[in-house]
Structure 1
Amino acid sequence: MALLVFYGGVDVKAEARKTLSEIDKKLKLLNKPAIKSIKSEDGDIIDCVDIYKQPAFDHPALRSHTIQGCQCSTQPVNTTRTRHGFFQMRPNNIFASETSTTEHESSPAMLTQTWQKSGSCPKGTVAIRRVKRKELLNADSLEHFGRDGPRTSFAVNTTNDESNSFGSFPAPEHSYANLYTPENNYIGARGDINLWDPLVQSYNESSSAQISLKSGSIENFESIEAGWMVYPNLFNAGGEPRLFIRWTLDGYRWTGCINHNCAGFVQTSKVIALGSTFSNVSTLHGPQFQINLRIDHDPGTNHWWLQYNNEVVGYWPAEILRYLKEKASMVAWGGDVYSKNVKPGHPYHTTAYMGSGEAASELFGSANFITNIRIIDDSLQLKYPDSAFFVVDEPNCYSALIYKAHRNSEPYFYFGGHPNNNCIYNQKE
């Protein structure tokens, strides 16, 4: 006779079977059938998925969406011939990139991704990192897997009068050091982000560096973000930084997520895989590496396009946007630490590093930096945001600094830190 195991009135075996069944269903939803799969030396599997069968098209608003510039479209909007003789999908308005003004020559122009050593995806597909069963098992809930939020708080503008509150978008469980633009109309942003592998205290914490564009109110805003991230729990891995995107349509209350973990972002690249590791990272007082990211609005379609180095990765489609459909009201560059143990109420602050873990004042070779910072506004000129200011919401824990070697040199935005005994908060009374 079979023995049924009950705990607190619950059939444990039945609950386990139900959980595994739900996980398998979620995996099938996230991992689309691959035309080709590539096993990377770092343990990742990259699936080459038919471009029209990617997760984006599970979004109800994108069921009849035609990919901009796709060769498989009957009426391509805009295509550019590449050196390989194929066509690359890209926005209608191309703002030329400047020649890098970075003064330190130890940073390479381009970083490859680790999986690229093991193969390549064929034409007509996009490269998508496969989600593993263990990653879903690590999640607090299947519904929340790969999601983030809520993210609303007020912080202090540390570059001006410290008594003034600055309405910012990150959250109660996020600590950040950001360079902000004043409120205006923005249709593009870019920057070279120094790449590190920061230590985090636990698997369910993350540390990242990114560019973000936002619009809407403090309570209900839209945001699109791109950068690198260390998040062991999400990627079932160690402390390797990974390329990521993140977005929300309602202040992270119900919508939005990281990478392809929910439908929305339309990928067009067969070369770049979101969530994959990089071939090199920076070392303290050693070689410095960086990634170039740019996000541009296409006025012809109202899509927001992401470009990594010289490769167009894809776009956030206009169909899912409202506040960001025509412009962004704010741009931010900087670092972010996510942990349950940040902000008031947690006497033992997380020891998670932001950036390299070194203070911003340590400068090049030690502190994390972003340079070649540029925006495009109503003037349609690619330029440094002269009125930019930085905000650090936990100045006892992390730091930031705008630094120029001399009057005519390129500004660097340095940020980061490693919380110590000064980073303490009293418990709630």
Structure 2
Amino acid sequence: MALVMNLLLLLFSVALVRSDQTTTPLKSFKIGENVTYDCIDIYKQPGLDHPLLKNHTIQVKPSRIQLNSQIGNNITHKNKLKCPDGTVPVLRNTKEFITNVNLFAEKYVHPQSADSPGTHIAGVRSHAGPYRGIQAWVEAVDLKIEKDQASYSQIYLGSGVNQQINYISTGFMINPGFFGDGRVWSYGFWKGKDGKGCYNTACSGFVQVSRTIPIVQPIAISPTESSLLRPFIHQDKNTGNWWLTHLGPDEPYGDIGYWPKELFNLLDNGANMVGVGGVVKASPSGSSPPMGKGTFPDGGRRSSAIFANIDVLNSDFEQSKINSFPIEILVDSPKCYGLRVGTVKWYIRTRLGYFFNYGGPGGNSCGV
């Protein structure tokens, strides 16, 4: 159980992305203060510098997996990127940020230990693998998070054997201490062979393919409607690589990139576990931040944050609702956070499938 919980909580070793400063960008986009993307030659991107990828051949497109769903994400970006042909966007950051996040990652490798109190979760998971993928509508919410706190919404999959862990997650994060602002950011995380891994492209490993959708970017939150992203982590049936796709109206299949199979030693035949949920990290003083919309799931489905249309790919790459398999509900601090499985069938003009509301206000008595 401890191993699985550590899988869930590994995302708090947050790192930021950077471009390889030895590679001259063909073009750059500055979309805000301290937010610049460099368009790097796809074959010279920093992700390919990983020692396990010396002989890796880039996979330009995944072997398509069709999903049965009527709608994707509704998030639009005010500053849409479009790098020139043959290049991909990589977020630029300072050496100070990289140093800070590396220290943070080292300290919080096992966040349930005494070195990292105040990590709390509210979500569901299933151990009935192997699984080949997971997707869900994830709601992005603008919350006030202090500089020394963090709040996340994630989907994930992984396998653990004899203290070894392989793990991939994606979703939204608010982490002012590292991004330098309180905005919502999309992200991706991996942990593979020898316990190595990181967020986004802070270190080598993730292969960016999309010219327009970087793995990490600030999200514009709508003040009048739910901001939903539909991320999809899935194993390629032909290559074994693990793809990250955003399913939405602008690009029905927005294939961002992938984590090559060479990075992992426990995911060749799928993942043993999948899950979704919210996670928070308290400040050193013990004050826990809000999760979801900052409200308990006590009212209607719109009053608290939601995960909806949660589907998995089984061992044969067939799509099923996650509740077609045995699931476990996780709420480790009911004083501060909650979860309620939904019962209605319709939402935002389409079928919800399996969904739940979650979240809470946090506070100073949420426990360790």
TM superposition score category, shorter chain reference: 0.7 to 0.9
- Higher RCO, 1 or 2 (CA under 8 Å, sep at least 6)? 2
Are 1:112 and 2:51 counterparts?
no
Match of 1:332 in 2: 275
Superimposed CA distance per residue, residues 351-398 of structure 1 (whole angstroms, 9 cap, x where no aligned partner): 311121111223433211111100011353211122323111222221
Are 1:191 and 2:130 counterparts?
no
Match of 1:65 in 2: 56
Out of 220, 226, 238, the residue aligned to residue 279 of structure 1 is 220
User: Residue 301 of structure 2 contacts residue 342 of structure 2 at CA under 8 Å; is this kept in 1?
Assistant: no
C-alpha spacing 1:109/1:248, structure 2 compared with 1 (3 Å): closer
Are 1:49 and 2:40 counterparts?
yes
User: Residue 307 of structure 2 contacts residue 355 of structure 2 at CA under 8 Å; is this kept in 1?
Assistant: yes
Partner AA of 2:317 in structure 1: L
The separation in 2 between residues aligned to 1:113 and 1:364, in whole angstroms, is 26
For these two proteins, the number of residue pairs brought into alignment is 339
Partner AA of 1:204 in structure 2: D
The separation in 2 between residues aligned to 1:193 and 1:335, in whole angstroms, is 10
SS at match of 1:313: strand
Match of 1:150 in 2: 109
C-alpha spacing 1:146/1:49, structure 2 compared with 1 (3 Å): farther
C-alpha spacing 1:54/1:146, structure 2 compared with 1 (3 Å): farther
C-alpha spacing 1:280/1:379, structure 2 compared with 1 (3 Å): same
User: Residue 190 of structure 1 contacts residue 293 of structure 1 at CA under 8 Å; is this kept in 2?
Assistant: yes
Kindly state the Cα deviation for residue 110 of structure 1 after the two structures are TM-superposed. Answer: 3.0
Kindly state the Cα deviation for residue 42 of structure 1 after the two structures are TM-superposed. Answer: 5.4
Match of 2:317 in 1: 380
SS at match of 2:123: strand
C-alpha spacing 1:217/1:204, structure 2 compared with 1 (3 Å): farther
Matches within 5 A, 1:125-144: 125-133=87-95, 135-136=97-98, 139=100, 143-144=102-103
What TM-score do the two structures reach when normalised by structure 2?
0.83
Out of 59, 64, 69, the residue aligned to residue 99 of structure 1 is 69
Are 1:244 and 2:235 counterparts?
no
The separation in 2 between residues aligned to 1:128 and 1:148, in whole angstroms, is 26
The separation in 2 between residues aligned to 1:334 and 1:40, in whole angstroms, is 30
C-alpha spacing 1:409/1:228, structure 2 compared with 1 (3 Å): closer
What TM-score do the two structures reach when normalised by structure 1?
0.72
Kindly state the Cα deviation for residue 31 of structure 1 after the two structures are TM-superposed. Answer: 7.5
Gaps in structure 2 of 5+ consecutive residues = 1-16, 248-252
User: Residue 142 of structure 2 contacts residue 221 of structure 2 at CA under 8 Å; is this kept in 1?
Assistant: no
Kindly state the Cα deviation for residue 224 of structure 1 after the two structures are TM-superposed. Answer: 0.4
Are 1:294 and 2:258 counterparts?
no
User: Residue 146 of structure 1 contacts residue 261 of structure 1 at CA under 8 Å; is this kept in 2?
Assistant: no
The separation in 1 between residues aligned to 2:18 and 2:185, in whole angstroms, is 21
Kindly state the Cα deviation for residue 134 of structure 1 after the two structures are TM-superposed. Answer: 5.4
SS at match of 2:271: coil
The separation in 1 between residues aligned to 2:92 and 2:220, in whole angstroms, is 19
Larger Rg computed on CA atoms: 1
User: Residue 129 of structure 1 contacts residue 274 of structure 1 at CA under 8 Å; is this kept in 2?
Assistant: no
User: Residue 95 of structure 1 contacts residue 382 of structure 1 at CA under 8 Å; is this kept in 2?
Assistant: no
Kindly state the Cα deviation for residue 57 of structure 1 after the two structures are TM-superposed. Answer: 1.5
Out of 143, 150, 163, the residue aligned to residue 206 of structure 1 is 150
SS at match of 1:122: coil
Out of 245, 260, 271, the residue aligned to residue 307 of structure 1 is 245
Out of 172, 179, 198, the residue aligned to residue 235 of structure 1 is 179
Kindly state the Cα deviation for residue 184 of structure 1 after the two structures are TM-superposed. Answer: 1.7
Match of 1:317 in 2: 260
Identical-residue share of aligned pairs (%): 27
SS at match of 1:53: coil
SS at match of 1:361: coil
